[in-house]
Amino acid sequence: MNLNIKGNSAIVTASSSGLGKAAAAALVKEDVNVVINGRDQQKLDTALKELNELEGGRVISSQGDITKKEDIENLVKTAVDNFGRLDHLVTSAGGPPAKSFVETTESDWYDSYDLLVMSVVRIVKESLSYLKADGGGTIVNITSISVKEAIDNLVLSNSVRMTVIGLMKTLAKELAPEIRANAVLPGAHETARIEDLINSQVENGDFESYQQGLAAKSKSVPLERIGTPEKLGDLIAFLSSPKSNYINGSSIVVDGGAASSNL
């Protein structure tokens, strides 16, 4: 599908791997010029090489920590200096540590809020004037199914990510009609994190093979498979395009029907 975003410019945070990288790839394939970001320079360089091998838009990288204001400022400046515009913002972040409530410290809560919420606040504020220009732009926040349904031992994600949804809903009203804001709430997807978990379970003898472990992870999903990052990336590209121009303020669950929540 031609999404009519050729020549646009985008920033995708935390995009050296996983769902952020998949979002960047989907945009590149639609001929969007993309700035990718990550803290690990080696991982970022590898992602940059792979994305630039795709047919489509240009890709450049900006190494930095999204919890640091100066790194956010540099990320936005990199996009505008190199591409002359900024049309789309996709926010992603690594998950906070898995812990029960009693195991968490006060620092865990502040760190999680800074990573998941303030990183979005800072980059939206820094990007706002550019996103409003040339007819307006889009914001897509990658969060988690934990927003809809609490996950065991993920109290930080269960609690703090909900704030991103509140922020997104507010932005969808305050920034419209120039800027649309939406969120995607992925369930289990076959990212490096899932692969590492299954491989470690194979090594521990829990499963005989990776495929057996993957099948076990899929049992709770009505579609009998876990998600692929590429398909989530396609959804994000769609939400960034005029093809979705009446979708605003929505939280879209992408979990194969696994969640039990009615809303």
pLDDT digits (tens, 9 = 90+) for 72-103: 999 999 999 999 999 999 999 988 998 999 99
Do 39 and 166 lie in one domain? The reply is yes
State the pLDDT at residue 193. Answer: 79
Residue 2 inside a domain? The answer is no
The residue ranges of the chain whose pLDDT is under 70 are 1
Q: Which domain holds residue 14?
A: 9-188+228-254
Residue 149: the pLDDT is 92
Q: Is 259 part of any domain?
A: no
Whether residue 200 sits in one domain with residue 126: no
Give the pLDDT of residue 217. 87
Q: Closest by alpha carbon to 62, among 101, 13, 114?
A: 13
Domain count, the chain: 2
The CA distance from 170 to 11, in Å, is 21
Determine the Cα–Cα distance for residues 73 and 57; give it in Å rounded to an integer. 23
CA of 44: how far to CAs of 14, 17, 21, 39, 94, in Å? Answer: 9, 8, 10, 8, 14
Task: Check residue 160 and give its pLDDT.
Answer: 97
Q: Are residues 114 and 197 in the same domain?
A: no
- End-to-end CA distance of the chain, in Å? 30
Report yes or no: 62 and 80 within 8 Å, Cβ to Cβ.
Answer: no
Which pLDDT value is given to residue 262?
84
Question: CB neighbours of 6 closer than 8 A, spacing ≥ 6?
Answer: 30, 31, 32, 57
Predicted confidence at residue 260, as pLDDT, reads 86
Shared-domain flag, residues 42 and 164? yes
